[in-house]
Amino acid sequence: MSKISFITSNPDKYCEMKAFFEENSLELGWTRVSLPELQADTLEEVVIHSLSHFDGDGVFVEDAGIFIDSLSGFPGVYSRYVFDTIGNEGILKLMSGVENRSARFEAVVGFKPEGGGDIKLFKGVVKGFVSLSPKGGKGFGYDPIFTPEGFKKTFAEDEHIKSMVSHRKKAAEKLLQYLKRNL
């Protein structure tokens, strides 16, 4: 199998994904470019649109977001923009006094098979809660304010929890299973 490459401009995402590949004794290339992202309701649409702007195959993109139930799914597919503007501080302000703190991280991987063929989509979801305050210095983005179901620490407090149950891990595992079956 020739080397699969991850298209992302985000070094943190590349490093996380590379670790999942290495656990499976696979190499992962890095195509460090930024593809256009559509304003859409779902990560799937964003991913398909982005990949349609890339010539070549044997590559994948990933898009992720945090969907907060009591905020009608906000920030959802716009998680990166919202993080860059109002940040975790803004999210916690919006959630102040809100009892229902349930949220989920979603990640969708879109893969363009070598030699052509339809784009394959792999989704990972992890349910959890928005914490009352930011905790922990690991991870990135919303990790300090997200506590996964069944745990008491945020993703940023314990990177082992994140590497076990994260949305990106789950999407990556589905991609890896597919790659092992098909290549």
The number of beta carbons lying within 10 Å of the beta carbon of residue 85 is 10
Rounded to whole angstroms, how far apart are CA atoms 132 and 92?
7
Residue closer to a copy of itself (CB basis): 54 or 78: 78
Residue closer to a copy of itself (CB basis): 17 or 82: 82
Binding of a copy of itself at residue 52 (CB under 8 A)?
A: no
104-163: which residues touch a copy of itself (CB under 8 A)? Answer: none
Q: Which two tokens stand for residue 35?
A: 């593809």
Binding of a copy of itself at residue 81 (CB under 8 A)?
A: yes
Peptide bond into 144 cis (omega under 30): no
Binding of a copy of itself at residue 54 (CB under 8 A)?
A: no
Binding of a copy of itself at residue 56 (CB under 8 A)?
A: no
Binding of a copy of itself at residue 85 (CB under 8 A)?
A: yes
Residue closer to a copy of itself (CB basis): 3 or 53: 53
17-36: which residues touch a copy of itself (CB under 8 A)? Answer: 36
Q: Which two tokens stand for residue 112?
A: 């363009």
The DSSP code sequence of 61-114 is EEEEEEEEGGGTTTBGGGHHHHHHHTHHHHHHHHTTT-S--EEEEEEEEEEE-T
**Which residues of the chain form contacts with a copy of itself (CB under 8 A)?**
36-40, 46, 49, 71-76, 78, 81-82, 84-86, 90, 93-94, 96
